[in-house]
């Protein structure tokens, strides 16, 4: 193990936070249904990272972060299960715009339409699709985060995308292909 200075540790932590904070907040917001709760979950995730030895997480920090975030979000949801989730309009008001391209109203509308349809499929399919396409995770990484088998991850993604395509093609003014 190489000797690390506090300055190098701080720099590493700042880099990790800069890279993963927004994707983790989006992920946690989807799991918790509340952007404020999601920020708390992500803050707790980073605090846990501070307490972890860097050598134990380096090389798979994204998987580690998303796994801890997911577990924390599930814990929070269990504790607050009696509270109602955000309405569609409230969620849209707090939704991150980081992943929406600035070019073209039509493209933004198509993306919004896909996201609306995505919200109608089972949550297990939503989660793996978001991890794959919003965060760029491999099937193995998604498997590590969710605890599902790699083949189950592939099945859920395939089934979810097939359902989204069918529903998109059934809607008027839907884009021809996604």
Q: Are 20 and 43 in contact (CB under 8 A)?
A: no
Q: What is the pLDDT of residues 87-139, one digit of tens each?
A: 555 555 555 555 544 456 777 777 788 888 889 999 999 999 999 988 889 99
- CATH code linked to domain 6-79: 1.10.1740
Q: Which residue has 């506090």 as its token pair?
A: 6
pLDDT for position 82: 52
Secondary structure in 3-state letters for 106-173? HHHHHHHHHHHHHCCCCHHHHHHHHHHHCCCCCHHHHHHHHCCCHHHHHHHHHHHHHHHHHHHHHCCC
Give me the CATH topology for the region 99-170: Arc Repressor Mutant, subunit A (1.10.10)
Nearest Cα to 69, choosing from 98, 36, 91, 47? 47
**Residues recorded for the chain:** 178
Higher-scoring residue by pLDDT: 80, 123: 123
pLDDT for position 101: 44
**What residue ranges do the domains of the chain occupy?**
6-79, 99-170
Give the single-character DSSP code of 53. -
- How far apart, in whole angstroms, are the C-alpha atoms of residue 117 and residue 115? 5
Q: Which residue has 């801890």 as its token pair?
A: 68
Question: Six-digit token pair at 10?
Answer: 């701080």
Neighbour count for residue 160 (Cβ, 10 Å): 21
Question: Six-digit token pair at 26?
Answer: 């989006």
Question: What is the three-class DSSP state of 89?
Answer: helix
């Amino acid at each position: 193990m190489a000797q690390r200075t506090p300055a190098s540790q701080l720099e590493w932590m700042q880099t990790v936070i800069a890279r993963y904070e927004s994707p983790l907040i989006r992920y946690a917001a989807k799991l918790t249904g509340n952007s404020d709760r999601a920020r708390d979950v992500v803050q707790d995730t980073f605090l846990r990272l501070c307490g972890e030895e860097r050598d134990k997480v380096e090389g798979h920090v994204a998987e580690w972060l998303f796994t801890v975030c997911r577990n924390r979000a599930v814990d929070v949801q269990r504790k607050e299960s009696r509270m109602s989730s955000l309405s569609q309009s409230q969620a849209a008001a707090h939704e991150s715009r980081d992943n929406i391209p600035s070019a073209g109203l039509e493209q933004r509308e198509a993306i919004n339409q896909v996201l609306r349809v995505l919200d109608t499929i089972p949550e297990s399919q939503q989660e793996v699709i978001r991890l794959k396409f919003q965060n760029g995770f491999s099937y193995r990484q998604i498997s590590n985060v969710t605890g599902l088998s790699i083949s189950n991850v592939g099945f859920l993604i395939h089934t979810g995308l097939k359902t989204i395509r069918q529903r998109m093609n059934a809607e008027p003014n839907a884009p021809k292909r996604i």
